[in-house]
């Protein structure tokens, strides 16, 4: 067994420097690596390019890095829940690249899978396609998209072991599973770090080879963005 375990979040983020490109897993606030984000907020690291489906909310998730102006550029698909984000974007302080969600996911997966580029119909005929190679396959127009190149991928899982094997829960799998192994170094924060041999190999979602550093997060707030319920009757 090759251990990936680090003892602290401080150790996990070693080597994250100014102007790096970092992938962050999560969808909205669901499944975000909240301990690692909180630690990055404590550092003076700035000029970051962040690849993340969303940009958090004003006071949680990547919104915290935005408040401290640590982010230079966001590559996302939907940023509607964050007033500070919108302000920085409209004022030109923040560079924003909005791309279709499926394209975002596949650009992560392509990096994870060693595929340099692929064709997708998403965005054909729209401003997303501007400047991109267009090709027809089976009578339908597609545009070429490239795999992401990132320095770090930071993902969050439900359970993990010292070997770096990961299991996700519910819809918190989202981009975490696509980003694990899609950057030079993958950091995984887990709710529960268990001894090797505890997890059933049949149930592993991401094999440990995709993860370089793993640690158990100190606490998880797991904030809910839209609490919707129905009445018992």
Partner 1 sequence: MLTKEDIAKRIAQELKDRYFVNLGIGIPTLVANYIPKGIDVEFQSENGVLGMGPFPFEGEEDADVINAGKQTITTLPGASFFDSAFSFGMIRSQKVDLTILGAMEVSENGDIANWKIPGKMVKGMGGAMDLVASAENIIVAMMHVNKAGESKILKKCSLPLTGVGCVKKVVTELAVLEITPKGFKLLERAPGVSVEHIIASTEANLIIEGDIPEMIIN
Residues in touch with partner 1 (CB under 8 A):
27-31, 53, 76-81, 86, 89-90, 96, 98-106, 108-109, 120-128, 158, 168-178, 222-232
Q: For partner 1, which is the closer residue by CB, 5 or 132?
A: 132
> Shortest gap between Cβ of 14 and partner 1 (angstroms)?
27
> Shortest gap between Cβ of 205 and partner 1 (angstroms)?
8
Closest listed residue to residue 204, CA positions, set 188, 218, 216, 217 = 188
Cβ proximity of 222 and 21 under 8 Å: no
Map residue 134 onto helix, strand or coil: strand
Q: Which residue has the tokens 């669901």?
A: 30
Q: For partner 1, which is the closer residue by CB, 58 or 86?
A: 86
Q: For partner 1, which is the closer residue by CB, 170 or 201?
A: 170
Q: Which residue has the tokens 């793993």?
A: 214
Q: For partner 1, which is the closer residue by CB, 100 or 207?
A: 100
Residues contacting 122, CB < 8 A, separation 6+? 100, 102, 103, 128, 143
> Shortest gap between Cβ of 162 and partner 1 (angstroms)?
23
Cα gap 176→24, rounded to integer Å: 8
> Shortest gap between Cβ of 184 and partner 1 (angstroms)?
20
């Amino acid at each position: 067994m090759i251990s990936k375990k680090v003892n602290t979040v401080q150790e996990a983020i070693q080597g994250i420097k100014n102007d790096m490109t970092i992938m962050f897993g999560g969808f909205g606030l669901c499944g975000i690596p909240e301990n690692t984000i909180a630690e990055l907020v404590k550092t003076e690291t700035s000029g970051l390019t962040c690849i993340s489906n969303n940009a958090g909310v004003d006071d949680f998730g990547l919104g915290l890095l935005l408040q401290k102006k640590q982010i230079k550029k966001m590559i996302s698909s939907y940023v509607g829940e964050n007033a500070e984000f919108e302000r920085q974007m409209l004022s030109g302080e923040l560079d924003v690249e909005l791309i279709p969600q499926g394209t975002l996911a596949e650009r992560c997966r392509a990096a994870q899978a060693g595929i340099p580029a692929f064709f997708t119909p998403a965005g054909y005929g729209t401003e997303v396609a501007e400047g991109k190679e267009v090709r027809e396959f089976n009578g339908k127009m597609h545009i070429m998209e490239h795999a992401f190149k990132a320095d770090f991928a930071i993902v969050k899982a439900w359970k993990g072991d010292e070997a770096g094997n990961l299991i996700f829960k519910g819809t918190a799998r989202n981009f975490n599973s696509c980003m694990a192994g899609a950057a030079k170094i993958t950091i995984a924060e887990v709710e529960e770090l268990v001894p090797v041999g505890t997890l059933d190999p049949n149930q592993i979602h991401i094999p440990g080879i995709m993860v370089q550093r793993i640690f158990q997060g100190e606490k998880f707030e797991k904030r809910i963005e839209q609490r919707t319920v129905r009445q018992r009757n």
